[in-house]
Amino acid sequence: MIGIIDYGMGNLGSVSNACRFLGLDAKIITRKQEMADCRAVVLPGVGAFGDCMKHLVEHDFVSPIEDWIQAGKPLMGICLGLQTLFESSEESPGVAGLGIFPGTVKRFDRSQELKVPQIGWNRMKEVQSDCPMFNGIEDDSFFYLVHSYYVCPENDALVAGKTEYGIDYCSCVWRNNVFATQFHPEKSQAVGLRMLKNFWAWADVN
């Protein structure tokens, strides 16, 4: 079963509905104890970085998520769920992220006359073409995004995909048992559904 973590902030309905459409065994979980019944978890998120971390602490999911990743179990982060995996964010100075990956989260530079937040469809250029979540998905496919901030990993080896929006920024990371995207697979039609299905298959063998 895939557990979709409910910590009071997130696009739970759309992720759950996408899994249901694909016939995947998925369940929204509200307590850390429910993670024990899962073979993989999804960490979704919408809103502000600081609020997200506050909710994760209040719902007692921080240590369980860290333990889950350290145990080598599959996790997918989506949107803000990707950003929380890093150490900090310009959106919420002084608030620590989960710190799974070294790096920070930066705001798009308004001086380039970009519309911020970026809302809509954009291409994802594959950097790690061997990533199992890209199986059956053409390079430069379009995914749906809604965000004002982007992750800046210190380790380039983490970057699985990039997107151009004034700059080429990291829109997807993959390392060992953790895969996370800035875009919303659950809102990205056929390619996004294929990515969720790939995550299910990947989790089945990990």
Alpha-carbon distances of 59 from 54, 71, 196, rounded to whole Å: 9, 21, 25
Average pLDDT over residues 1-7: 94
Among 91, 147, 172, 186, which one carries the catalytic annotation? Answer: 186
Write the DSSP symbol of residue 64: H
Q: How many domains does the chain have?
A: 1
Angle at 52 between CA 98 and CA 192, to 5 degrees: 85
The token duo for 204 is 């089945």
Closest by CA to 178, choosing from 54, 53, 41, 62, is: 41
Enumerate residues 6+ apart whose C-beta is below 8 A from 189: none
Among 52, 131, 172, 184, which one carries the catalytic annotation? Answer: 184
* pLDDT given at position 40: 96
Instruction: Residue 16: give the domain boundaries.
Output: 2-204
| 184 has catalytic annotation | yes
CATH of the domain at 180: 3.40.50.880
* pLDDT given at position 206: 63
- With beta carbons less than 8 A apart as the criterion, state whether 49 and 86 touch: no
Please write the tens of the pLDDT for every residue from 145-167.
Answer: 999 999 999 999 999 999 999 99
pLDDT confidence tier of residue 12, bands split at 50, 70 and 90: confident
Specify the pTM: 0.95
pLDDT confidence tier of residue 205, bands split at 50, 70 and 90: low
Please write the tens of the pLDDT for every residue from 101-147.
Answer: 999 999 998 776 789 999 999 999 999 999 999 999 999 999 999 99
| 147 has catalytic annotation | no
| 79 has catalytic annotation | yes
Token match 């199986």: residue? 135
Angle at 149 between CA 105 and CA 81, to 5 degrees: 70
Average pLDDT over residues 2-7: 94
pLDDT above 70 coverage of the chain, percent: 98
Among 79, 131, 170, 172, which one carries the catalytic annotation? Answer: 79
